[in-house]
Amino acid sequence: MAETQGKVITCKAAVAWGPKEPLVIQEICVDPPQKMEVRVKILYSSICHTDLGAWTGVNEAERAFPRILGHEAVGIVESVGEGVKDVKEGDYVIPTFNGECGECRVCTNGVSNLCERYKVDPMKRLMVNDGGTRFSTTTNKEGGSSQKQHVYHFLNTSTFTEYTVLDSACVVKIDPNAPLKQMSLLSCGVSTGVGAAWNTANVKEGTTTAVFGLGSVGLAVAEGARARGASRIIGIDANASKFEKGKLMGVTDFVNPKDLTKPVHERIRELMSGGVDYSFECTGNVDVLREAFLSTQAGWGSTVLVGIYPTPKTLPLHPMELFDGRTITGSIFGGFKPKSQLPNFAQQCMKGVVKLEPFITNELPFEKINDAFQLLRDGKSLRCLLQISKFLKK
């Protein structure tokens, strides 16, 4: 906006000061965007399990405080830095934690979405341009005044703030007529799940699928498999309350590990006469990954790993088990190249190929962000949408 362009903006943000400490809504300063950066006014942000992981600080190496978390959002461009050509002030955009520079060896080949410069990096906390932050505060966590201190970025995005600064590689322009609240889901959870089914596994019509973990990511996998015409979709979750939602996303059978006296893979092999064609691990638990791997059909079964593993534990497989012909692969952001492919995916969602409404189970004002975290921790929400900034359109 003309009146703020080139100036520091003072606004509200939810700052994480330490592992598991309630986020503090406080004033921060947001610097103008530098070369190839974009400053975005965040309208809505939802919460993903990866935010919870960073907040709890399970992986000590990834800890960085004070920090602004959040990576699933939709916003409007406030101003752009030198050299930014593909978005301009007033454009509706979604931030993406896995960027696309469009120029590196990876971006210019069709195989992978892991851009050499801007791919997701949970360790990254500073901007590429100058190794600095664009956020600072002179308010401490008790609300008193303090020396100016920098506030770290998170996952190329940081969306729990009224204004954020992103590398332009991590900003995707969307149709201004798109339903904005739902577009927030494309920033991570739904794109990750649907893309894992479409791009990584390439689920075929008439095949069978098992989805481990029925949060938003797992249910988006189910929705993607349903849209591709999978004949059976087995949902596995230790929280039976997820099964109702699962039915809406095409889940045909449910397995609760708590109800079994045998390993889950044995139950799935019984149900599916040998195993499923595809399995997806969406809980972030390595033991579940083993069950997912063993649930597929010997000879051609394919397992896609989507969950994030903050523990130092390694893959629980014996190499000989790979001789049974099962394969295993990982999927980041559903294999989508964000700038080249998300606008088209958003159009498909708007046409109803993928249903977005059921994923937003709760809406809260920004000030209630700690309640929204608690809902996700308790398994009581899929996505809780926070209204971050007030705005007039729509």
Q: Pairing mode, if any, of strands 72-80 and 92-95?
A: antiparallel
Name the nearest CA neighbour of 121 among 64, 43, 195, 80.
Answer: 64
Do the Cβ atoms of 282 and 211 come closer than 8 Å? yes
Give me the 21-50 binding string for Zn ion, x by CB under 5 A, dash otherwise.
---------------------------x-x
160 counts as binding ligand NAD under rule CB under 6 A: no
214 counts as binding ligand NAD under rule CB under 6 A: yes
Q: Which residue is nearest to ligand NAD (CB)?
A: 215
104 binds, among Zn ion, ligand NAD, none (CB under 5 to 8 A by kind): Zn ion
Name the amino acid, one letter, at 351: K
Q: How far is the CB of 110 from ligand NAD (least distance, A)?
A: 19
d(CA 243, CA 224): 17
Q: Which stretch binds ligand NAD (CB under 6 A): 12-20, 88-96, 129-137, 237-245?
A: 237-245
Angle ∠(231,237,243) on CA atoms, nearest 5: 65
d(CA 245, CA 379): 13
Q: How far is the CB of 107 from Zn ion (least distance, A)?
A: 3
Which residue in 14, 68, 282, 354 binds ligand NAD (CB under 6 A)? 282
Task: Determine the 3-state secondary structure of 372 from DSSP.
Answer: helix
- Return the H-helix or E-strand segment holding 52: helix 49-56
362 binds, among ligand NAD, Zn ion, none (CB under 5 to 8 A by kind): none
Which residue in 227, 288, 354, 385 binds ligand NAD (CB under 6 A)? 288
State which of positions 170-209 bind Zn ion (CB under 5 A): 188
384 counts as binding ligand NAD under rule CB under 6 A: no
Do the Cβ atoms of 160 and 369 come closer than 8 Å? yes
Count of positions on this chain that bind ligand NAD (CB under 6 A): 32
Name the nearest CA neighbour of 214 among 184, 185, 250, 188.
Answer: 250
127 binds, among ligand NAD, Zn ion, none (CB under 5 to 8 A by kind): none
Q: Which stretch binds ligand NAD (CB under 6 A): 62-70, 81-89, 212-220, 359-367?
A: 212-220
C-alpha distances in Å from residue 288, one per residue of 240, 295, 303? 17, 10, 12
Q: Which stretch binds ligand NAD (CB under 6 A): 148-156, 221-229, 279-287, 361-369?
A: 279-287
59 counts as binding ligand NAD under rule CB under 6 A: no
242 counts as binding ligand NAD under rule CB under 6 A: yes
Name the nearest CA neighbour of 304 among 229, 194, 386, 387.
Answer: 194
Q: Using the 8-state DSSP alphabet, how is residue 97 labeled?
A: S
Q: Which stretch binds ligand NAD (CB under 6 A): 38-46, 59-67, 235-243, 295-303?
A: 235-243
Do the Cβ atoms of 301 and 276 come closer than 8 Å? yes
CA atoms within 13 A on the CB side of 134: 31
Which residue in 115, 210, 255, 375 binds Zn ion (CB under 5 A)? 115
Do the Cβ atoms of 388 and 73 come closer than 8 Å? yes
Do the Cβ atoms of 91 and 76 come closer than 8 Å? yes
Give me the 92-111 binding string for Zn ion, x by CB under 5 A, dash otherwise.
---------x--x--x----
- Where does 123-222 show beta strands of DSSP type E? 135-139, 145-151, 163-167, 171-173, 208-212
214 binds, among ligand NAD, Zn ion, none (CB under 5 to 8 A by kind): ligand NAD
77 binds, among ligand NAD, Zn ion, none (CB under 5 to 8 A by kind): none
Q: Using the 8-state DSSP alphabet, how is residue 297 labeled?
A: P
Residues engaged in binding ligand NAD (CB under 6 A): 48-50, 53, 188-189, 192, 213-218, 236-239, 242, 257, 282-285, 288, 306-308, 331-333, 376, 379
Residues engaged in binding Zn ion (CB under 5 A): 48, 50, 101, 104, 107, 115, 188
